[in-house]
Amino acid sequence: MEALARGHRVIRYDHRDTGASTWAFDRVPYSATRMAEDALAILDALGLERAHVVGLSLGGFLVQWLLVAHPERLLSATVIGAPALEGAPARANVTARAPVDPGLYEFWRHMFEPREREAQIEWRVENWRRLNGGKIPFDAEEFRALERRIIVHAGRHDTSDAHARADPSGLARGAELVHVTVPTLVIATPQDPTNPESNSRFLAETLPRSSLVTIDGMGHTIPRAVVPPLAAAILGHIETGARGAVLPVKA
């Protein structure tokens, strides 16, 4: 965040049912697209018409939905560690989504089980280890400290299953990605067990005005080692847009 904030106003927020936001899915259920609309509501509340939008993982899906549903609100977009939305046009010998490691699915079956605070921290650290990939050494203490900060911020240590239960059907607008004109940076994470690099290449090929950057060794985590190249890629993309440069439309 510090790197991105040099010369830019950075806005970040807690999704519903995370951090210090309200945890109330059972009382007030919502869809995945409503989560994307929350970003627009925040811009409205701050009196901002447009913004450079960056999304990782689930956030990458939400950014793509904003690209097709509300492109007028985006100065640029950056998608990290997420495949194309469902419905993206297939190409010969190319699939929109490579499969996720089945071992992760088995591990995630236990994600929402109740645990004592320290046991919950250790489960989350192990989850990060699996998501980190095998190239960049995993620093358990770095992620243990992160999880302790998250728990203090949220005031609770449990994990909500709300996002797994939120209706995702409204996100199936991948067919519209071919019409997007907002400059978009797709960041490939080659060690990501949830989103193989081929997924990012497919997304970049689908978006008419996109560039693809691979962060060497990056998985589905942001350890300190990847912060400099990741921040440089995002800032370079944002500054290109700020100068009014436009990526060429692909044939």
Q: Would the pLDDT of 249 be above 60?
A: no
Q: Are 75 and 52 in contact (CB under 8 A)?
A: yes
- Residue in 80, 219, 212 with CA at minimum distance from that of residue 138: 219
Mean of pLDDT values over 100-112: 90
The rounded distance, in Å, linking the Cα atoms of 207 and 184 is 8
Mean of pLDDT values over 7-32: 96
Mean of pLDDT values over 2-22: 94
Partners of 74 in beta bridges: 51
Element holding 10 (H helix, E strand): none
**Domain at 2-242: CATH architecture:** 3-Layer(aba) Sandwich (3.40)
For residue 85, give the amino acid letter. Answer: L
* Segment among 35-49, 79-93, 237-251 with least mean pLDDT: 237-251
Q: What is the pLDDT of residues 155-214, one digit of tens each?
A: 999 999 999 999 999 999 999 999 999 999 999 999 999 999 999 999 999 999 999 999
Long-range contacts (CB closer than 8 Å, 24 or more residues apart) made by 129-132 = 130/103, 130/104, 130/193, 131/104, 131/192, 131/193, 131/194, 131/219, 131/220, 131/221, 132/191, 132/219, 132/220, 132/221, 132/223
The rounded distance, in Å, linking the Cα atoms of 25 and 124 is 22
pLDDT number for residue 98: 66
Considering the candidates 17, 57, 160, 200, report the single residue annotated as catalytic. 57
Considering the candidates 52, 157, 220, 237, report the single residue annotated as catalytic. 220
Q: Would the pLDDT of 235 be above 70?
A: yes
Catalytic residue list contains 21: no
Catalytic residue list contains 57: yes
* Residue 134 CB contacts under 8 Å (≥ 6 apart), including other chains: 191
Mean of pLDDT values over 19-31: 97
Considering the candidates 17, 160, 192, 237, report the single residue annotated as catalytic. 192
Catalytic residue list contains 220: yes
Q: Are 19 and 153 in contact (CB under 8 A)?
A: yes
Domain boundaries, the chain: 2-242
Mean of pLDDT values over 215-222: 97
Q: Rounded to an integer, what is the distance from CA 65 to the centroid of its chain?
A: 12
The rounded distance, in Å, linking the Cα atoms of 32 and 30 is 7
pLDDT number for residue 141: 98
Q: Would the pLDDT of 96 be above 80?
A: no
